[in-house]
Amino acid sequence: MSSHRFFQLDVFTRRPGGGNPLGVVVAADDWSDAAMQAFAKWTDIVETTFLLRPTTVAASYRLRIFTPSREIAFAGHPSIGSAHVALLSGFCSPNDGVLIQECQAGLLPIRVEGESDQRRLFIQAPKASVLKTGIESKSLLATTLKKVKLGKLPPAFVEGGRRWWLAEFADVGALRAWQPDHASIRKIALDSDSLGLCVFARSDEPGQDIVLRAFPAGVGIVEDPASGAANGLVAAYIAHAEPGGPLARGYTVSQGREIGHDAELTVRIDADATVWVGGQTQTVISGEVEWPHSP
């Protein structure tokens, strides 16, 4: 057992306490799979990641992402936060302002903008596809949304690194006040092999274009304070459905306020519909971890 650098972060926020927590272990190449999972369970943070040497010269680093119960292929806020630590710790350096993250979802570019406390990182979201649009009248999703006035876009089932059901609300106030049936969302998630339901509304509130709430009940989370992956899929759906619309090249997002957070995310959409999701990360704890590297 030896010491490794360990960071605890708050991702997608300009101030500590406003975003989504993350734990990151640096240079964990000597850790076994079981040790990583056991440590992620011990931290009990929504996700804990492990920075490793890349297996290809094309990558800046390799990343493994664990919830307290299992390993996952990709998630947005762990990718952004881990890239922040990779730079902060000197684990790697950007090439022409870009890091390349190697993970189970493939090689994903991360754009680096600014320096120090003003640095913002943007990850290229995995390519997304709309699997289904519309809502079946007798489905559990229809029942879950039966009292909701829906927005311009029909509900959709979208895949890109993760699977989510998406639904647009017509009114921001109704979105912020919504009290969903979490048991129903969990059943929807398990039946469709998805994370759950992500809902959003176009906003006239100052400072953001969209308000978003994500309920990843499929992995046991009631509500996510800041979800890069979910935001990436919403952006891909908007770009697909409204290629000439006012949000087609990007927008700002408010998430998490309903559960005591105040995350801020920025979405950029390239002309070819490539989606980038980013924001700032705050370092809250910097220290060392001692943990047995094998069971």
Task: Report, as an integer, the average pLDDT of 61-89.
Answer: 95
Strands (DSSP E) contained in 42-155 are 48-52, 61-66, 71-72, 98-103, 106-113, 120-124, 129-133
265 and 226 in contact (C-beta within 8 Å)?
A: yes
The C-alpha atoms of residue 189 and residue 186 are separated, in whole angstroms, by 5
Q: Hunting for tokens 């991702």 — which residue is that? A: 11
Radius of gyration in angstroms for the set of CA atoms belonging to the chain, rounded to a whole number: 19
pLDDT digits (tens, 9 = 90+) for 87-132: 999 999 999 999 999 999 899 999 999 987 789 999 999 899 999 9
pTM: 0.93
Compute the average pLDDT of residues 152-170: 95
Distances (CA, A) of 22 to 82, 133, 225, 260: 8, 33, 12, 17
Q: Tell me, what's the pLDDT at 118?
A: 87
SS3 39: helix
What pLDDT, in 10s, does the model give residues 13-45? 999 999 999 999 999 999 999 999 999 999 999
What structural domains and CATH numbers belong to the chain? 3-124+280-290 (3.10.310.10), 129-273 (3.10.310.10)
Residue in 47, 168, 223, 264 annotated catalytic: 47
**Could you count the other beta carbons within 10 Å of the beta carbon of residue 268?**
16
Residue 1 pLDDT more than 80?
Answer: no
- 47 is annotated as an active-site residue: yes
- Rounded CA-CA distance 109/50 in Å is 18
On whether the CB atoms of residues 161 and 126 are closer than 8 A, the answer is yes
Distance CA 102, CA 99 (A): 10
CA-based end-to-end distance of the chain: 11
